[in-house]
Amino acid sequence: MTSRAPHPVTLPRLCWGDAGAERRALLVHGLGSSGALMWRLAVALADAGWHATAVDLRGHGDAPRALDYSVEAYAADVVATLPDGGGAWDLVVAHSLGGAASTTAAAENGEWTRRLVLIDPAILVTGRDSGIIRRSQERAFDDNRIEAVRAEHPHWHPHDLELKVDAVARASRWAVEQTSAQNSEWDVRAAAARLRVPTHVIGADPKVYSLFTGALADEVLANPAVTMSIIAGAGHSPHRDEPEPTVRRLLEVIDR
């Protein structure tokens, strides 16, 4: 992890819903993905009366390229991303790498968002998980045909299949590789312990595959601001693996 304060880049946006809606949400994707791949959650929020904004993270999609791909750099970008007109987000929904960046951002700036929902967040990535993530990204870049994505994820919606191919095509392979290389000590547990905004983790099913489980989950859940639920049958991307129960859980959480 870098010790200097990273300089943020301006992240491109996609938006759903009425721009004049009172409630505003930010959606932050994971490694090797894109803002467009958060579409299912964005549509659900828009249908519920929210204005939803998804961003491409640095090195991904149409976002600027950079040299720094530390979690702190990703966090600097998202904490500098504010609703049109300023103020705080009413909700930030963040997956995997986006979850690590958003956890760091919310811990450093308690005024950035009023609520945080983390989808199988990458709070601590070591050993076996590091290898699984690296090999998954290598497979994606080595064979980016839609047939290969469908073979690995046969139950995904056609939009998700198409957008995953597009996300890999537009992401910088070097940036994705550097995200692993520059975060050899990938650990934002200290930031998670400092969270004060209401935070809910929508967890993947450990029987399938989850980054946020076991002793790690227990440690983070010791913070009274953090709660958790699990989407049965979902792997690391519940919003794509089991979208309907994931959407229901999201809407339940934010209506509390």
- Burial zone of 71 (CB within 10 Å; 0-12 exposed, 13-18 middle, 19+ buried): buried
Q: Which two tokens stand for residue 104?
A: 């760091």
Q: Which two tokens stand for residue 5?
A: 């304060």
Place of tokens 């995904």: 156
- Burial zone of 155 (CB within 10 Å; 0-12 exposed, 13-18 middle, 19+ buried): exposed
Q: How far is residue 195's CA from residue 191's CA, in Å, rounded to a whole number?
A: 7
pLDDT at 213: 96
Cβ 89 vs Cβ 23: under 8 Å: no
At residue 129, the 3 state secondary structure works out as helix
At residue 108, the 3 state secondary structure works out as helix
pLDDT at 5: 81
pLDDT at 3: 53
- CATH H-level superfamily of 13-254: Alpha/Beta hydrolase fold, catalytic domain (3.40.50.1820)
pLDDT at 256: 78
Q: How far is residue 182's CA from residue 177's CA, in Å, rounded to a whole number?
A: 9
pLDDT tens per residue, the chain (256 residues)? 445 688 999 999 999 999 999 999 999 999 999 999 999 999 999 999 999 999 999 999 999 999 999 999 999 999 999 999 899 999 999 999 999 999 999 999 999 999 999 999 999 999 899 999 999 999 999 999 999 999 999 999 999 999 999 999 999 999 999 999 999 899 999 999 999 999 999 999 999 999 999 999 999 999 999 999 999 999 999 999 999 999 999 999 998 7
List, in sequence order, every beta strand (DSSP E) within 47-165. Answer: 51-55, 91-95, 116-119, 124-125
Say which DSSP state 122 is in.
-
Q: How far is residue 249's CA from residue 236's CA, in Å, rounded to a whole number?
A: 16
Closest among 37, 70, 75 to 56, alpha carbons compared: 37
